[in-house]
Amino acid sequence: MSRPADIMPAARSPIAPDRPAIPVPLRRLLLGAAPAWRRFLFAFASGASGALAMAPVNFFPIMIVALGAAVWLIDGAVDENPAFSGPALRRVAVLGWFWGFGYFVAGLWWLGAAFLVDAAQWAWALPLGVVGLPAVLAFFPALGFVLARLLWSRTPARILALSAGLGTTEYLRGHILTGFPWNLLGMALCGRDDLSQFASIVGIDGMTFLAIAIFAAPATWTDRGSVRGRLKLPTVFAAFALLGLGLFGFVRLPDGPAATVPNVRLGLIQPNLTDDDYFRPENAGEIIDNYLALSQKTFEAPANAPSFTPATHVIWPESAFPLILSRNPEALQQIDSGLPDDMPLITGAARQGEKLPGAQYPQYFNALQVVRNGEIVDSYDKVHLVPFGEYLPADFLLRAIGLTQFVHQIGGFSAGQERHLLHAPGLPPIAPLICYEAIFSGAVMPQGEVGERPGLFLNVSNDSWFGRTWGPYQHLAQARLRSVEEGIPLVRVANTGVSAVADAYGRILAQSKLGEEAALNVALPTALPRTPFSRQGPVFIALIWLVALAGAVIGVLARRAGNAAQSVL
């Protein structure tokens, strides 16, 4: 007796292609049986979960949820409309936008704190930072979803399509216009010392391609296929890749503490000084006295101390005081009288430059200056300024409608001409990184010095804008990764925290608490020889991208070949 055709088991070809199988609880949601807003809410929530993989939480397994959901979102869009039509691609883009919007809102919510520092002037604009910026940034993953869709196949190779597509737009986010590489997806692999060491070869951009592939792979676990067990291979490969990263880190990291530079101790001063009404020129003397009192703790032994090595250099943070140090001999004299003879001070300070022809005001620069015996002996001007924070893009237009930058500086800051080394007596050459400059992978090494390699990154910052939020921890996490990439130790001094020292492997050796006064007396770790990333970083990043792209294309071709063979049979 024959069975009805609609319940006969389908014939299975030995070369039948794999087919994505969206988990049953999500099938009705992702295939259009539910209202669109639920689908968008799922995309938003799954993207938001990925923020928990970033500092300070650093729960990297959650990225399996975020990127696995991205795979299923695109799977659902493909199942509903497999064509490459405009409406089909727009739907994928919208899903990618909601996914990215959730990721950026959850990861950058702390930006709202900056709008409340001067609430009377800026509270109205808080939605622009908390919602507006994430809404703009979400267009990058929206494009990433579309690029992935163009390479999509009903095979496990679609994981590489997501890596190639979303990884490409993450790279673009960090480089086009002024770039904003904050919380790149690769940072999910960089919260641990061992897993982050592979960045010494491929940098954060290469780690992003790897992270997307590794954490998206478990989404294929539910796929249907013709060969039992074959569909588990992407997850197995991902697990071995994660294990390989850990093993690489285990081999690369030394057993003991890093070597240190002889006869150098650094006094890192965190005054916990906020940008409130107290930070005014009339209080400058009192502010400097407070810095000097904290500095004294690093070079004068406390009573009954069993052993104490005094600091040889003192470092103060960005925006240390409300005056132009180079034009205030009284402040220079006050600093000189409060420090031991010949002790160098490295401090953040605004610097007044020349008044350009036709300009209403002279130029002002956000600078890092070396002071010794009451004189400024070297200076560096910040090159990569923060849009809307230190200057206004399209300045003439936005000022016409009443907008200004956050920093209370007439006309905003001007950008320095070029990155260069800073020299302080008794220290190796310094690669200065003022605040925001520390987040740009591959762009932190000064240019122009022949044969002179920095012995440390010095990152001074004023994170008081962001209060006791996730922001300062994320800033530190990205700054320390520059040490891993370049093999150069990091010294970080922040106004309210987090101040820290990391060795050339990115291991944190000393760290202050956020929102507290601190005076750290620390040794300076030595630098390593140049890393593979510092030599050929773009080449390694391009190779990883090409592997992901080639794998995705092979998946598409294999799918087409499988379809052709099945139609013949």
Active site residues: 318, 382, 435
Length of the chain: 569
Count Cβ atoms below 10 Å from residue 183 Cβ, excluding itself. Answer: 26
Residue 547: exposure state from Cβ atoms within 10 A (0-12, 13-18, ≥19): middle
Q: How far is CA 148 from CA 133, 161, 303, 440, in A?
A: 24, 5, 64, 25
- Distance in angstroms (rounded) separating the CA atoms of residues 529 and 532: 10
The pair of structure tokens assigned to 527 is 């630098």
Instruction: Measure the N-to-C terminal CA separation of the chain; round to a whole number of Å.
Output: 26
C-beta of residue 515 within 8 angstroms of C-beta of residue 468 = yes
Residue whose entry in the numeric block shows the structure tokens 């292609």: 17
b vs e for 347-371, b when ≥16 Cβ sit within 10 Å of the residue's Cβ?
bbbbbeeeeeeeeeeebbbbbbbbb
For residues 314 and 335, is the Cβ–Cβ distance under 8 A?
Answer: no
**Residue whose structure tokens are 């249907």:** 224
Task: Quickly count helices (H) and strands (E) in the chain.
Answer: 17, 11
One-letter identity of residue 277: D
Is residue 503 within 8 Å of residue 260, measured between CB atoms?
no
